[in-house]
């Protein structure tokens, strides 16, 4: 068990983190994510306040055609301060007209709510921090659809048109949306096609007093699929391999720019500027000594722990050029002829056994290009890392639900 | 994590401060990590072992084990020459978790001074140290 922002959470369950990580790719994993906080933002000024405080342009954030946000859709971005630094990242979903929900990280419900309240400036908006009042369980992996299907009273209706980054239902029995998704015992849930693994799956939001029951129902429903409870270690290696940042580690108290997540900023099509004004915008436009965050992949499973020694990044000439933000081992991938394959890669070499690769994020004082090699070092060891645009190939997060239902 | 009562610390092994074990087997000493060490590290994913023929003093770093959580040095419980290494750990590092005292052994040492075995803890000694240190 580990203390995670005040929540006592398992690093792993008895199966161990490697088994848990692999279970999400090949079977299904279940994650207790009740530490995350939900904030409701409602009122005629809600959209305008979010446009001011959130990095995504909610008027043009959905799909390739840049459609505006609409009920049932969600989008990823960050809340920044005046310096352009990250208060927290978040997925925001629209529940209804003038009603939004922001899902933020452990312990951040209060900080983000205060930030929103401080910037209300006369707008008609109500901000409710639901920290610890909403339970959240993630069901992620290859078999997530048939498992979640078994939980629901009305699965056909729910699964009809539920693409990636959309949701249905509500965790509040009093909501008008509560009828959209109900468990077999009638409990309303909010079911979202989102997650933090890079793999196909759902996040389920439920009233906190029903959380334990839901967990047990999921474990039962997943028994024939080999469902595996997963701890923080597997969550960390899955998300790193999927090039997803950990708030306050990969993004944090430095300007939220020059990183692998430009889709979280409101760039115009030409990437020459932003399409809206927001808190932190002018700071991002005026960064004087830029730093660049990159994903890297190592050459074997060995990693350089970031919480030990003095972890630094060197160029091949041995000059210190930056810091390591995340370095973990994704145990489902390996290199063959210098190309990375996953256990799910359709073109993986015959007899492929993943030996694991170290991977994560580094923050560097000068721009690098994909393919560049750096050295990651702490007191104990030095490893080579390649700057990459993607880490674990052939991820399933965006796979169509009807296809995954046949898994 | 296991509680102290749950730890498997066999009687016929000797234990070092950093939770390596040593077991006399004829004229050589077999070395590995004890149940406490493997439990604290979590699932081990990589093991670095020395070359056969390497000579170390008691307390020298002879290898490294890497778990999902950490990278840890392994220290010689007694000084001497490495006469064998457990090459099965290359492909199956998790043997240290699964069988810390048998299949998960790390190296065999020809001890320079067999009396160094007497400087190590017995089962009772290491248990007492764990309880005093509040390491659990």
Q: What are B75-108's pLDDT values in tens digits?
A: 999 999 999 999 999 989 999 999 999 999 999 9
What does the CA dihedral A342, A348, A352, A357 come to, rounded to 10 degrees?
A: -30
- Which residue in B125, B127, B24, B120 sits closest to B75, CA to CA? B120
Q: What number is the average pLDDT over the span A97-116?
A: 97
Q: Is pLDDT at A168 greater than 80 in this prediction? A: yes
Q: How far is B115 from chain A (nearest CA, A)?
A: 31
Element (H, E) at A201: strand A201-207
Q: Is pLDDT at A20 greater than 50 in this prediction? A: yes
Indicate yes or no: CB of A17 within 8 angstroms of CB of B46. Answer: no
DSSP A245: P
- For tokens 């063959």, name the residue: A336
Other CB atoms within 10 A of residue A289 CB: 6
Q: Is pLDDT at A332 greater than 80 in this prediction? A: yes
Tokens of B84: 């064998």
ipTM, two decimals: 0.77
Indicate yes or no: CB of A329 within 8 angstroms of CB of B68. Answer: yes
Separation CA A185–CA A183 (nearest Å): 5
Which of B45, B69, B70 lies at the smallest CB-CB distance from A301? B45
Phi, psi of B9 (to 5 degrees): -130, 90
With a CB-CB cutoff of 8 Å, which residues 332-391 of chain A face chain B? 356, 380-381
Indicate yes or no: CB of A301 within 8 angstroms of CB of B1. Answer: no
Indicate yes or no: CB of A233 within 8 angstroms of CB of B66. Answer: no
Separation CA A323–CA A321 (nearest Å): 7
Separation CA A232–CA A16 (nearest Å): 11
Q: Calculate the alpha carbon distances from A12 to A18, A70, A328 in Å.
A: 9, 37, 15
Contacting residues for A384 by C-beta, under 8 A, at least 6 apart: A298, A299, A373, A374, A375, A376
Q: What percent of chain A has pLDDT over 90?
A: 94
Q: What is the pLDDT at residue A374?
A: 98
Distance of CA A288 to the CA centre of its chain: 29
Sign for the CA dihedral angle at B58, B63, B67, B72 comes to: positive
Q: What percent of chain B has pLDDT over 70?
A: 98
Q: What number is the average pLDDT over the span A247-251?
A: 98
Q: Is pLDDT at A407 greater than 80 in this prediction? A: no
Pairing of strands B107-111, B80-85: antiparallel
Sign for the CA dihedral angle at A48, A51, A52, A53 comes to: positive
Phi, psi of A59 (to 5 degrees): -85, -15
CB A329 within 8 A of CB A358: yes
Beta bridge partners of A66: none
Decide if B46 touches A, using CB distance below 8 A.
Answer: yes
For helices A109-118 and A46-53, the axis angle rounded to 10 degrees is 110
Q: How far is A2 from chain B (nearest CA, A)?
A: 10
Q: What is the pLDDT at residue B134?
A: 61
Indicate yes or no: CB of B69 within 8 angstroms of CB of A1. Answer: no
Other CB atoms within 10 A of residue A373 CB: 13
Across the A:B interface, residue pairs with CB atoms under 8 Å apart total 47
Phi, psi of A25 (to 5 degrees): -75, -40
Decide if B3 touches A, using CB distance below 8 A.
Answer: no
Q: What is the pLDDT at residue A301?
A: 94
CB A125 within 8 A of CB A46: yes
Q: Is pLDDT at A85 greater than 70 in this prediction? A: yes
| E-only strand ranges, A304-378 | 312-314, 320-330, 333-336, 339-342, 357-364, 373-377
* CB-CB neighbors (< 8 A) of B46 in chain A: 300-302
Indicate yes or no: CB of A380 within 8 angstroms of CB of B66. Answer: no
Separation CA A33–CA A230 (nearest Å): 10
Which of A308, A356, A380 lies at the smallest CB-CB distance from B45? A356
For helices A144-151 and A211-221, the axis angle rounded to 10 degrees is 120
Indicate yes or no: CB of A18 within 8 angstroms of CB of B43. Answer: yes
Q: How far is A206 from chain B (nearest CA, A)?
A: 30
Surface-to-core class of residue A371, CB atoms within 10 Å of its CB (0-12 exposed, 13-18 middle, 19+ buried):
exposed
Mean pLDDT over each residue of chain B, to the nearest integer: 94
Decide if B115 touches A, using CB distance below 8 A.
Answer: no
Separation CA A113–CA A95 (nearest Å): 18
Separation CA A218–CA A148 (nearest Å): 7
Decide if B1 touches A, using CB distance below 8 A.
Answer: yes
Tokens of A217: 């129902």
Indicate yes or no: CB of B66 within 8 angstroms of CB of A11. Answer: no
Q: What percent of chain A has pLDDT over 70?
A: 100
CB A116 within 8 A of CB A43: no
Tens digit of each residue's pLDDT (9 = 90 or more) over B14-51:
999 999 999 999 999 999 999 999 999 999 999 999 99
Is A227 in a helix, a strand, or coil?
coil
Q: Is pLDDT at B136 greater than 80 in this prediction? A: no
Which of A304, A308, A331 lies at the smallest CB-CB distance from B45? A331
Q: What number is the average pLDDT over the span A367-375?
A: 98
Decide if A184 touches B, using CB distance below 8 A.
Answer: no
- Which residue in A309, A196, A194 sits closest to A242, CA to CA? A196
Q: Is pLDDT at A90 greater than 50 in this prediction? A: yes
Locate the chain B residue with the closest alpha carbon to A358: B68
Q: What is the pLDDT at residue A115?
A: 98
Tokens of B106: 């790390």
Indicate yes or no: CB of B70 within 8 angstroms of CB of A381. Answer: no
Locate the chain B residue with the closest alpha carbon to A300: B46
Separation CA A338–CA B42 (nearest Å): 29
DSSP A274: B
Separation CA B83–CA B55 (nearest Å): 9
A154 confidence band (pLDDT: 50, 70, 90): very high
Contacting residues for A156 by C-beta, under 8 A, at least 6 apart: none
Other CB atoms within 10 A of residue A26 CB: 16
Locate the chain B residue with the closest alpha carbon to A307: B70
Locate the chain A residue with the closest alpha carbon to B63: A380
Separation CA B56–CA B74 (nearest Å): 12
Q: Is pLDDT at A310 greater than 90 in this prediction? A: no
Which of B46, B69, B94 lies at the smallest CB-CB distance from A301? B46
Q: What is the pLDDT at residue A253?
A: 97
Q: How far is A301 from chain B (nearest CA, A)?
A: 7
Tens digit of each residue's pLDDT (9 = 90 or more) over A380-395:
789 999 999 999 999 9
* CB-CB neighbors (< 8 A) of A351 in chain B: none
Mean pLDDT over each residue of chain A, to the nearest integer: 96
Q: What is the largest CA-CA distance in chain B?
A: 38
Decide if B70 touches A, using CB distance below 8 A.
Answer: yes
CB A30 within 8 A of CB A218: yes
Which of A12, A308, A381 lies at the smallest CB-CB distance from B70? A308
């Amino acid at each position: 068990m580990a203390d995670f922002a005040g929540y006592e959470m398992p690093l792993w369950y008895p199966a161990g983190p490697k088994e848990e990580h692999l279970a999400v790719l090949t079977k299904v994993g279940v994650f207790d994510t009740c530490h995350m906080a939900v904030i409701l933002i409602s009122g005629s000024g809600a959209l305008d306040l979010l446009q001011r405080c959130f990095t995504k342009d909610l008027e043009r954030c959905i799909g390739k055609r840049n459609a505006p946000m609409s009920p049932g859709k969600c989008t990823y971005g960050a809340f920044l301060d005046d310096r352009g630094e990250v208060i927290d990242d978040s997925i925001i979903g629209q529940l209804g007209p003038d009603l939004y929900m922001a899902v933020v990280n452990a312990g951040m419900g209060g900080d983000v709510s205060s930030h929103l309240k401080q910037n209300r400036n006369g707008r008609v908006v109500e901000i409710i921090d639901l920290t610890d009042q909403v339970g959240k369980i993630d069901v992620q992996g290859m078999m997530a659809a048939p498992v979640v299907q078994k939980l629901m009273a009305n699965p056909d209706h729910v699964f009809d048109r539920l693409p990636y980054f959309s949701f249905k239902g509500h965790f509040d029995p009093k909501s008008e949306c509560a009828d959209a998704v109900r468990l077999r015992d009638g409990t309303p849930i909010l079911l979202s096609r989102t997650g933090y693994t890079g793999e196909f799956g759902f996040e389920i939001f439920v009233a906190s007093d029903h959380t334990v029951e839901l967990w047990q129902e999921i474990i039962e429903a997943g028994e024939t699929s080999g469902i595996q409870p997963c701890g923080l270690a597997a969550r960390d290696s899955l998300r790193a391999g999927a090039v997803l940042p950990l708030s306050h580690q990969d993004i944090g108290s430095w300007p939220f720019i020059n990183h692998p997540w430009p889709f979280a900023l409101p760039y115009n099509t030409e990437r020459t500027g932003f399409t809206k004004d927001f808190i932190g915008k002018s700071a991002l436009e005026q960064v004087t000594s830029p730093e660049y965050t990159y994903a890297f992949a190592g050459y074997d499973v060995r990693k350089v722990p970031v919480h030990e020694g003095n972890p630094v990044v060197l160029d091949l000439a041995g000059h210190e050029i930056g810091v390591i933000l995340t370095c973990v081992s994704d145990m489902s991938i390996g290199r063959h002829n210098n190309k990375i394959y996953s256990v799910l890669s359709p073109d993986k070499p015959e007899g492929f056994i993943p030996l694991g690769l170290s991977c994560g994020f580094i923050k560097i004082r000068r721009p690098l290009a994909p393919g560049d090699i750096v050295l990651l070092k702490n007191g104990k060891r030095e490893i080579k890392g390649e700057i990459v645009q993607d880490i674990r190939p052939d991820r399933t997060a965006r796979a169509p639900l009807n296809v995954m239902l046949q898994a | 994590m296991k509680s102290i009562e749950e730890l498997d610390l066999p009687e016929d092994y000797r234990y070092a401060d950093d939770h390596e074990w040593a077991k006399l087997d004829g004229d050589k000493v077999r070395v590995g990590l004890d149940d406490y060490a493997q439990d604290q590290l979590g699932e081990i994913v990589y093991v670095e072992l020395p070359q056969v023929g390497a000579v170390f003093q008691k307390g020298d770093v002879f290898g490294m084990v890497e778990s999902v959580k950490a990278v840890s040095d392994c220290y010689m419980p007694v000084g001497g020459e490495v006469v064998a290494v457990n090459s099965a750990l290359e492909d199956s590092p998790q043997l240290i978790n699964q069988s810390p005292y048998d299949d998960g052994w790390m190296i065999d040492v020809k001890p320079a001074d067999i009396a160094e075995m007497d400087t190590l803890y017995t089962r009772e000694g290491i248990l007492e140290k764990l309880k005093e240190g509040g390491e659990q």
